[in-house]
Amino acid sequence: MTALQTALVTPFLLHFALVLALYAALTVARAAAVRSGQVAYDAFARVDGDPPAAARIARNLGNQFEAPLFAYFAVLFLLWRGEVNAFDVAAAWLFLAGRVIHSAVQTLTDNVRLRGMVFTLNFLGVLALMAHVAWVVLGW
């Protein structure tokens, strides 16, 4: 693996670590809600069963499998084609930074406006990666 390829993959390994941290946080938030009597354990079988703090974490965890899917596709495609460049590495780090900030805002606050603004960061990273994929596919 080249240095550029390693540099491209690293933010996605860290994104996976973020997902693991969110799973852990959700488990802790749900356990605390059950211990405090806020909800019964079987409430988590329903989409609307989480109390607000756990619901924010659960929703953010779901977000990790929406737009990031395109970033993962782009990275795999670019690695497969051997087309990784410094632009892609910068886009991948922008993606990760945006994901981390978005997760912090969504899990710790109810500030939807700010969440939308910081989502733009990771979306720009995804957009840049997919633009490079399109560039390669179209042969420009």
Name the residue ranges covered by the structural domains of the chain. 3-21+56-138
Task: Inform me whether the pLDDT recorded for 140 exceeds 90.
Answer: no
Which residues does 38 contact at the CB level (< 8 Å), separation at least 6?
51
Contacts with 100 (C-beta within 8 Å, 6 or more apart), sequence order: 18
pLDDT, one tens digit per residue, over 80-115 is 999 999 999 999 999 999 999 999 999 999 999 999
- Percent of the chain clearing pLDDT 70 (strictly above): 100
- pLDDT of 10 above 90: yes
Please state, in angstroms and rounded to a whole number, the distance separating the CA atoms of residues 126 and 73: 10
Specify the pTM.
0.93
Residue with tokens 């995804």: 126
* Mean pLDDT score, 123-136: 98
29-32 CB contacts, 8 Å cutoff, 24+ apart: 29/53, 29/54, 29/57, 30/54
Q: 41 falls in which pLDDT band (50, 70, 90)?
A: confident
Q: How many CB atoms lie within 10 A of CB 107?
A: 22
How many CB atoms within 10 Å of residue 113? 7
